[in-house]
């Protein structure tokens, strides 16, 4: 059977926009089960002018089957980066966006893909962007979605809303390729590694200050996950990160001084 390339934006648009921003977007597949989906995803990315395909714990790669499905995108397969864990894949990324077929409180903010592509396009001007795709059978886990600033989904028939993994990669790559860019891009933001360090300092300061959430089951873990999403959506710049570190340092110093005073007043 003859394989037909999926349509993407016209060549003039692609030629004018290839340099720069597309190289800042990484399509990351987590725990991929079928190697054919890896190859088909590589072909989809090349159809739409992208080149960065990354894998976290693929079941079986490299494989001949991946090469068969790539059909013309073998160069992308040869440059695939493979990571033993998601943390390593996200270390140098600044903006992390997950994909999902369903909404829910545990998934955070979720946008239809066409509402999100302009934002993705803008972030990619000055930042390394990660688009996460989960397992073929049940997508991303809740713990993985907690790493994301927000989620995107592809609207589909309620009777059968789940897309094949490679189809989802193609649709999202295709939609991003169609974005216009009439406004000034946002400034560069800190890498995920720096963000996690900042968040851990904040969490530690909150605990030292005696913060104790009340009223819901698994309260601390859930509230901290929501707070993490809230802060990550702010797209923190290096200057803002330095400011926040300074604020946290002053809070820590103040708490330390109060603790010392309390110890002195209680001494006999």
Same domain, 41 and 121: yes
User: What 3-state class would DSSP assign to 137?
Assistant: coil
Q: How confident is the model at residue 16 (pLDDT cuts 50, 70, 90)?
A: very low
DSSP state, 118? Answer: H
Residue range(s) defining the domain that contains residue 110: 11-177
Dist. CA 167–CA 65, nearest whole Å: 17
> Which is higher by pLDDT, 158 or 74?
74
**Run of H or E including 205:** helix 192-208
249 located within any domain: yes
Mean pLDDT throughout 147-160? 91
Residue 144 and residue 48 share a domain: yes
pTM of the model: 0.72
Domain membership flag for residue 38? yes
CATH number, domain of 69, equals 3.40.1280.10
- Domain membership of residue 36 (yes or no) is yes
Structure tokens at 189: 């933001």
Tally of domains in the chain: 2
DSSP helix/strand/coil, 260: helix
pLDDT at 92: 94
Residue 17 clears pLDDT 50, i.e. is over it = no
Q: Which helix (H) or strand (E) holds 26?
A: strand 25-30
Residue pair 152/97 in contact (Cβ under 8 Å)? The answer is: yes
Residues found in the chain = 268
pLDDT higher for 162 or 56? 56
Judge whether 172 and 99 are in contact, CB under 8 Å: yes
179 vs 122: CA distance, rounded Å: 9
Last residue within a domain, chosen from 117, 144, 177:
177
């Amino acid at each position: 059977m003859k394989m037909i390339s999926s349509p993407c934006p016209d060549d003039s648009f692609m030629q004018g926009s290839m340099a720069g921003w597309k190289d800042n977007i990484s399509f990351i597949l987590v725990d991929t089960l079928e190697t054919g989906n890896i190859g088909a995803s590589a072909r989809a990315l090349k159809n739409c002018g992208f080149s960065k395909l990354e894998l976290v714990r693929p079941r079986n790669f490299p494989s001949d089957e991946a090469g068969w499905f790539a059909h013309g995108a073998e160069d992308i397969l040869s440059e695939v980066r493979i990571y033993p864990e998601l943390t390593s894949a996200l270390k140098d990324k600044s903006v992390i966006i997950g994909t999902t077929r369903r909404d829910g409180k545990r998934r955070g903010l979720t946008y239809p893909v066409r509402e999100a592509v302009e934002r993705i396009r803008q972030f990619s001007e000055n930042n390394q962007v990660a688009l996460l795709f989960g397992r073929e059978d049940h997508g991303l886990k809740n713990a993985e979605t907690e790493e994301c600033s927000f989620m995107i989904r592809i609207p589909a028939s309620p009777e059968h809303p789940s897309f094949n993994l490679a189809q989802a990669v193609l649709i999202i790559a295709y939609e991003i390729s169609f974005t216009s860019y009439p406004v000034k891009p946002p400034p560069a933001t800190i890498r995920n590694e720096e963000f996690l360090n900042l968040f851990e300092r904040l969490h530690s300061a909150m605990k030292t200050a005696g913060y104790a959430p009340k009223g819901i089951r698994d309260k601390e873990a859930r509230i901290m996950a929501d707070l993490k999403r809230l802060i990550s959506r702010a797209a923190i710049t290096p200057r803002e990160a330095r400011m926040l570190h300074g604020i946290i340092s002053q809070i820590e110093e103040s708490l330390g001084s109060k603790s010392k005073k309390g110890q002195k007043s209680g001494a006999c």
